[in-house]
Amino acid sequence: MVEFISYGRQSIDGEDIQAVVDTLRSPYLTQGPKVAEFEQAVADYVGVKYAVSFCNGTAALHGACSAAGIGEGDEVITSPITFAASANCVRYVGGTVVFADIDATTYNIDPTEIRKNITAKTKAIIPVDFTGQPVDIDEIMTIAKEHNLVVIEDGAHSLGATYKGRKVGTTADMTMFSFHPVKPVTTAEGGIIVTDNEEYYKKMLQFRSHGIEQVPYSPEKGGWYYEMTDLGYNYRMTDLQAALGVSQLKKLDTFIAKRQELAEHYNQALVNVEGIKIPQQLANTKSGWHLYMIQLEHANRKEVFNAMRAANIGVHVHYIPVYWHPYYRDLGYERGLCPVAEAWYEKALTLPLHPGITQENMNFIIEKLETTIHD
Ligand SMILES: *Cc1c(COP(=O)(O)O)cnc(C)c1O
């Protein structure tokens, strides 16, 4: 029996370990020089002015929603095919989530469906670069400008991916990247918002640290003086995490190249297999290939899933439509809301894809999949 092949996992080497150990021996464990260095490195990599790190990607989305001024009575449009955090962040600030259906080719939110769901209450759009494939951000920004909306791109899957030659993170008002271990690079837990907007940047710095504002030194007030001017949170990243992030970021392009190579191998092996639809890419985009997802056109998905798992192949399904979860169901969202997404979900299967997958793993997965669906 082969060792369990997970759908995604971190790639950590000796250099990464040394970076964390060095920080453990330094005077700072949290919010020291490594946090600032990591933020600068991400901002430089993406090509934006500002980056604000958080303890995880979900906290980062919360910070972005707060900075955008989303609150009670505001509607925010997102995709139903995403991790729950893309929608939950709207709920944290009291907003209402509106789910717009996906495009049947890219599985990303369909800009036409965004337009259909805009009302006088719409405040923002949270498009998700699902599987690492960038959304049609130019079209989404055009819609946002027409209706004066804020765009917070959920790039949890897409750090390093490009759209028309531009890096994800350079176009939306704010873009979130996650550093959870399965994501393109990791800090264990961690997240970041990149933006060119100074006002959002300042608001998020305050938000992630109790709402405290550093005030200029005044001799009357004393050197210890600071002010808490808003209700914030303790959502800070540690220097240990940031040290790992700095080291990991150097390998991002190599990781993506490896993911692209593996995805290409899957594509070639599966393109002519009856009953499997391989993922399609939008012209002018380069996916980060966070996930490799196929559609099982005829086979029983649960049977295929179970057979693959029995062979120690960590297939998965991303994602259950968010509004099917009991929390959202109880808020009144009903099945049938996004028919394209629901039909897509029923046939979806994630195959293992990460830089540690070997040629041998690949051949084993492909062979097992072919025999299983034709059983
Ligand atoms: C992972 C993920 C998040 C949340 O990131 P965390 O760092 O795990 O909090 C948000 N959106 C999507 C699409 C994700 O995959």
Q: Which of 65, 79, 83, 91 to mutate to test the pocket of ligand 1 (most atoms within 8 A of CB)?
A: 83
Contacts of 161 (CB under 8 A, 6+ apart): 129, 132, 133, 134, 155, 167, 168, 256, 285, 286, 287, 288
Any idea which fold 252-373 has?
Aspartate Aminotransferase, domain 1 (3.90.1150)
Q: Nearest C-alpha to atom 6 of ligand 1 is from which residue? A: 57
Ligand 1 midpoint to CA 156 (Å): 5
Ligand 1 midpoint to CA 221 (Å): 42
Q: Is ligand 1 within 6 A of the CB of residue 56?
A: yes
Q: Is ligand 1 within 6 A of the CB of residue 106?
A: no
pLDDT in tens, the chain (375 residues): 678 999 999 999 999 999 999 999 999 999 899 999 999 999 999 999 999 999 999 999 999 999 999 999 999 999 999 999 999 999 999 999 999 999 999 999 999 999 999 999 999 999 999 999 999 999 999 999 999 999 999 999 999 999 999 999 999 999 999 999 999 999 999 999 999 999 999 999 999 999 998 788 888 988 889 999 999 999 999 999 999 999 999 999 999 999 999 999 999 999 999 999 999 998 899 999 999 999 999 999 999 999 999 999 999 999 999 999 999 999 999 999 999 999 999 999 999 999 999 999 999 999 999 999 987
Residue 1: predicted pLDDT: 63
Q: Which of 10, 89, 180 to mutate to test the pocket of ligand 1 (most atoms within 8 A of CB)?
A: 180
Q: Is ligand 1 within 6 A of the CB of residue 87?
A: no
Atom of ligand 1 at shortest range from CA of 189:
7
Residue with structure tokens 């890096």?
Answer: 167
Q: Is ligand 1 within 6 A of the CB of residue 78?
A: no
Residue 218: predicted pLDDT: 87
Contacts of 265 (CB under 8 A, 6+ apart): 362
Are the C-beta atoms of 365 and 351 separated by less than 8 Å?
Answer: yes
Residue 92: predicted pLDDT: 98
Give me the count of residues in the chain: 375
| Cα angle: 59, vertex 60, 64; to 5 degrees | 115
Q: Is ligand 1 within 6 A of the CB of residue 128?
A: yes
Q: Which CATH class is domain 14-249?
A: alpha beta
Ligand 1 midpoint to CA 57 (Å): 5
pTM of the model: 0.97
The closest alpha carbon to 131, from 360, 337, 326, 316, belongs to 316
Residue 375: predicted pLDDT: 76
Are the C-beta atoms of 200 and 152 separated by less than 8 Å?
Answer: no
Atom of ligand 1 at shortest range from CA of 290:
15
The boundaries of every CATH 3.40.640.10 domain in the chain are 14-249
The boundaries of every CATH 3.90.1150.10 domain in the chain are 252-373
Strand partners, 162: 167, 286
